[in-house]
A and B are shown apart, each in its own frame.
Chain A
Amino acid sequence: MLELCAVTAGYDRARPVVRDVSLRVEAGEAVGLLGPSGCGKSTLARVAALLHRPDAGTVVLDGRPVSGYRHRATPAERTAYGVVFQQPRLSADPRLRLADLITEPLRATGRRTEAPTRLAELAPTVGLSSDLLSRRPHEVSDGQLQRACLARALVLRPRWLICDEMTAMLDASTTAALVAVVEDYRRESGAGLLAVGHDRVLLERWCDRTVGWGELGSSGAGG
């Protein structure tokens, strides 16, 4: 279970963008978090993924409060997550070929020997040909790069997926394809999902339940 307990977070302590918000995602559950742009939902997603230290409140991961955020999180905590961001261009190292981009988490965790096998499994799953795998980000389209970013998020077999507006830049067919990849992975692995977005139709179709930003209060909307 992934629990956010009374989280207050932001970039200026005097003006937090997330105030006293609680949210719970059960193991294997898919929760959609719906809100307008600028409401703070991406900040909350970053806290949930341990990428942003909240001013107050805690994140409880599988029953234990996390030990820290960003580099202070333990390797086991960090690798429990796969994260996909809205803009693939900003979340991909322009120097890496897609094959290296996808397997970077394996190298970072000292498991580089698994790279060829995992790459061979994941590339067809996300629909990347070997020709595309040898290219660098500027040589592929947004949709193709987001496919690689999704593969990178799955490469460590995370128990939790955080998708922050994963499909906002993509056309309808690529959106449907990437959501299908996430759902196939969840069915096979039992991973939980927090999908953040502003498209109600998409999140309601995709997730088990959808929570509106306005419904999140101190009492918690997780249930």
Chain B
Amino acid sequence: MTTPPAPPAAPVLSVRDLSVRFRMRGGRHVAAVTDVSFDLAPGQCLALVGESGCGKSVLASALLGLLPGNAQTAGTAHLDGTELLTASERELSRSVRGRRIGLVPQSPAAHLTPVRTVRAQLEETVRELTGTPKHALRAAAEQAAARAAFPADHLDRHPHELSGGLAQRAATALALVGDAPLLLADEPTTGLDRDLVDRTVDELRRHIDAPGGTGGVGTGGVGTPGDTGGVGRALLMITHDLAAAERIADRVAVMYAGRIVELAEAADFFGAPGPRHPYARGLLDALPDRAFTPIPGMPPELGDLPPGCAFAARCDRATDRCTSVVPALTDGAACHHPPGTPGEPVAAVREGAAGA
């Protein structure tokens, strides 16, 4: 894990055919995540976008081993040699969460412990993750706060005394303490105003661009396991905010009804030639600075998915094949009618699209 950067860097996270099913009462199943595959390289940000309820957060919980008891998983998720889906709770809690995957949570104000100051929480995290001796804790916690641009004069405040932006930075500071090679941000910008969204994603970008293991936190026990070897971290950002995704991402994965329906370079996706999957196109067209037109209809229930393409009922180009056969993700889009096929709008041919 400390190999020097070589051109096609080995992925930090490699997910193959990941599926999550929830067993419900009456023998029903909810297919929350189905056959998801992607790779995430160091220094790279993959934005996972989709509407609420499409399975994005379940995917994140699966990677962290935080699924509820009625969940069944299939497939693999390799994190630098560890198989996350089959790892024991002991291994996940001792060596994965916080140390090899840093979680930047949704609604940081709720993630922080309400009855303790930010300093107390940072010091505890630094002590647990880096083994910094007691006399150096104070300085180490202040250094950890500084990395996330959390102002030192606010360290003795409780979470309810912080604005949304500062609470976000406090949560980010906690996520960065372990110098994890993979950061997982679950809707880190929900409810923040636009300036704060821009600032938050710019800061996240800074943390993945910065070489990993930068001396990190504290004076003792640093540069320890989890050192990313100067390549930068990888960031998996889950969001429904397309503007935030455009600002930060190198690649974009669009999720619909539990499946990744498009996986593309961010520049191609947001610029030319644009999205290839009709759902992704509709999502972009719904933005107020584009057509501002909604996609007709609503997504299907995850407990009652149609046999074919889950988007067929809302798609103006759906044919019989769409309603009977689930399309595979080929050349970056899971669609029976991607642009460029005969009779379809032509898009520039992309060589070596970021497929799985």
Contact = CB atoms under 8 A, between A and B. Distances in A.
A127 B298 contact: yes
Given A37-B163, A171-B51, A205-B288, A176 B293 contact: yes
A199 B163 contact: no
Nearest to A38: B163
A127 B53 CA distance: 16
A174 B240 CA distance: 11
Nearest to A143: B52
B194 A176 contact: no
Interface residues of A, number: 30
Contact of A174 (B51, B163, B293): B51
Given A38-B163, A143-B52, A173 B295 contact: yes
A202 B240 CA distance: 15
B192 A172 contact: no
Most buried by A among B191, B192, B284, B294: B294
A183 to B, nearest CB: 10
Interface in A163-197: 168-177, 179-180
A36 interface: yes
Interface residues of B, number: 28
A186 B148 CA distance: 45
B292 A141 contact: no
Most buried by B among A142, A171, A204: A171
A200 interface: yes
Interface string A117-131: 000000000010100
Most buried by A among B193, B284, B286: B193
A199 B289 CA distance: 11
A5 to B, nearest CB: 27
Contacts of A172: 240, 242, 283-284, 286-287
Contacts of A175: 286, 288, 294
B61 interface: no
Interface string B190-204: 111111100000000
B288 A206 contact: yes
A86 B191 contact: yes
Contacts of A38: 163-164
11 contacts: A37-B196, A168-B191, A169-B52, A169-B190, A170-B51, A171-B240, A174-B294, A175-B286, A201-B288, A205-B289, A206-B288
